[in-house]
Amino acid sequence: MKTLLARALRSPRLSAVKRAILWARGLAFAGSRYRCPCCNSGLRGFVGRWGALVPNSDGYCPRCNSKARHRRIWLYLEEHTDVLVEDLCVLEVAPWWALARRLQRQPNVRYVGLDQRRTGPQVTLIGDARSIPLESSTVDALLCVHVLEHVVEDQRAIAELFRVLRPGGWAVVSVPLRLDRMTDEDPLVTDPDERGRRFGERGHVRFYGIDLTERLEASGFGVRLHRASEVPETVRRECGLREDENVFHCTKPGA
Ligand SMILES: [Zn+2]
């Protein structure tokens, strides 16, 4: 195993206090109407940032704090990848604890969580997505969930994802996406309020359109877009998914 990678393989474990809070919250919101695929919990609802039930299903899981995007990604991984069966080293860029924990519980997965700072135990490697501190072709699979819309030089980040992935490996990428138009970006828009109005959030530097496929292909990836509409309506409702969470499945040629 490569040296840099070996150092980054650690187990994400929350503090006892945070685990106790999530456990108690999971108990308080236990039910059978909804289901979180990330933690396999039956729920009576999803919650908002402050822990109250939200009227629609698009909220946080009270048990593992997954967002709709993470539940969509986990369902996608289960159905469309070999993450449950093959021995894989999986890199998650800007990791989220719910996904990190789910992956870490797979005996066949070695997990690496990359972020610019230590936001929680899910971060096992400090670094920038535009210059990932790993040797080339070292990971078998990677997740990049709602990251690229924050990165000014997204083409550099995409090239880095391609570089660290082994030939034949796969990457799952998702972003806020509008399927009916091209990407909207303007480097002159730097005011956070203006970015929020135009790109959806104050920290976003663009709003991606359907041409993200070409941006990913430009780095060498083979790309297939799995649309949110491919998820059955019953699953979408039960698992608290959004109607616009599309997934790009990218593969690096070779084997
Ligand atoms: Zn959950």
Ligand 1 center–CA 22 separation, angstroms: 10
- pTM: predicted TM-score of the whole model, two decimal places: 0.91
- Classify residue 72: in a domain, yes or no: yes
Q: For 160-189, what is each residue's pLDDT tens digit? A: 999 999 999 999 999 999 999 999 999 999
CB–CB of 83/90 below 8 Å?
yes
pLDDT score recorded for residue 119: 85
Considering the chain, what is the average pLDDT of its residues? 92
Ligand 1 center–CA 62 separation, angstroms: 7
- Final residue in a domain of this structure, among 23, 45, 65: 65
pLDDT score recorded for residue 1: 46
Ligand 1 center–CA 65 separation, angstroms: 6
Q: For 132-149, what is each residue's pLDDT tens digit? A: 999 999 999 999 999 999
Distance CA 206, CA 203 (A): 9
Q: For 58-109, what is each residue's pLDDT tens digit? A: 799 999 999 999 999 999 999 999 999 999 999 999 999 999 999 988 999 9
Distance CA 13, CA 193 (A): 35
For residues 60 and 116, membership in a common domain is answered with no
CB–CB of 109/103 below 8 Å?
yes
Ligand 1 center–CA 14 separation, angstroms: 15
For residues 118 and 137, membership in a common domain is answered with yes
Ligand 1 center–CA 39 separation, angstroms: 4
Q: Centre a 10 Å sphere on the Cβ of residue 13 and count the other Cβ atoms it contains.
A: 15
- Classify residue 2: in a domain, yes or no: no
Ligand 1 center–CA 254 separation, angstroms: 36
Ligand 1 center–CA 237 separation, angstroms: 15
pLDDT score recorded for residue 26: 83
